[in-house]
Structure 1
């Protein structure tokens, strides 16, 4: 495996850990991490009150040309809604609060603490 792939995976894992910590700190309950099915993967599945939240995490180094949040385009959000249906097939009916897609962007500056942005309901 090339070094770049290993470094990218480590960055992604670090971003997901920060995102999970953030979601918990704002009162959400983590139900699943890196959940996979034949149609794809969801970084974090969480409960926010009575809503099911599928959270996409995007981590980037500050030197990257694209802001992390720009990486989640409408096609990606639509795919996440499809994956929500798959998750519910395995875990039960939709919750009373419905299903929401959130995105957490993590920007790692050269110096200092990571910058985290949480956008709720991107669809």
Structure 2
């Protein structure tokens, strides 16, 4: 079910539980700002989720409330995960859904990294 990105942060969402260690994950990267792990229902040969460790509902929420160091650390983590996975060449896709029209399903900011095959057009026509 899509979430309304204007709602307050729900600390019972699945990513908050992963951050607290209540739900296992296949971690590929972690630092003070971010956690990256394999998606449990991959939509491409490589499908990694990168989440900030702070409690942010969406990209809009994150960009409005996070500090400069946290924003820089998260953005750098996304790039590092893609580089470390070997997807800079031939390429990868980043996706961050925000709000109901985008079908955001988990009310915690997350960036999908898709790679491993030609991904086709960005949106279905």
> TM-score by structure 2 length?
0.36
Query: How does the TM-score come out when normalised to structure 1?
Result: 0.37
Which one has the bigger helix percentage?
1
| Larger RCO: 1 or 2 (CA < 8 Å, sep 6+) | 2
